[in-house]
Amino acid sequence: MTKNNKIYFKTPSQTVGPFFGNYLNFNFSKKTYANFNEKIDNKIILKLNLKDKKKKLVKDAFIEYWQVLQNNNNLLHFNRINYSAKKKSYLISLNEYKSDTIIYITIFARGLLNHLNTIIYLEDKNFYKKDPFYKKLSIVRRKFMLAKLKSFTNNIKYYEHDLYLSGKNETVFFNYDNEVLC
């Protein structure tokens, strides 16, 4: 933008926020599902812990997630979630499918100049070992992509995964072209 022959640049949004809890009033209860006929009766509950480098929970954020068929990128599920004080985490609820699915995650949090993108694989689904993004990672970094199966009760699989924004356990993040950033 120019004014009086001077060039002005936009400043990062963090100079005045963002204040996710106050100004981004999404309907977090609204869910989008695709009609796909390979659904299994099992449900998936994924407990995400968003942490800083000191392993403290980051509560002032929201997460968008997509459940996608691996082979053809058909969208099965999309939603936004915020921190649940009652559950002390971010909770994702999904359906299990016969086909291999991937969970794409986008994190919007205080202090980030840009949102962060990552992928979460469920450890009991072995297809991830063939996934091109997973194979690009060093063996040491691969563990940061796997959600651990904690229990399987009443047709519900409970997983848990820690997402670290920085530090030695930092989650593997991708840019828009799905190339590894770190």
pLDDT at position 16, please? 46
Q: Could you tell me the mean pLDDT of each successive run of 10 residues in the chain, 182 residues long?
A: 59 49 58 68 93 91 88 81 90 88 88 86 89 87 92 96 92 70 47
pLDDT at position 120, please? 94
pLDDT at position 15, please? 47
* C-alpha angle 93-99-101 in degrees, rounded to nearest 5: 45
The predicted model scores a pTM of: 0.79
pLDDT at position 43, please? 92
Q: Give me the long-range contacts of 21-24 (CB less than 8 A, separation at least 24).
A: 21/60, 21/82, 24/62, 24/108
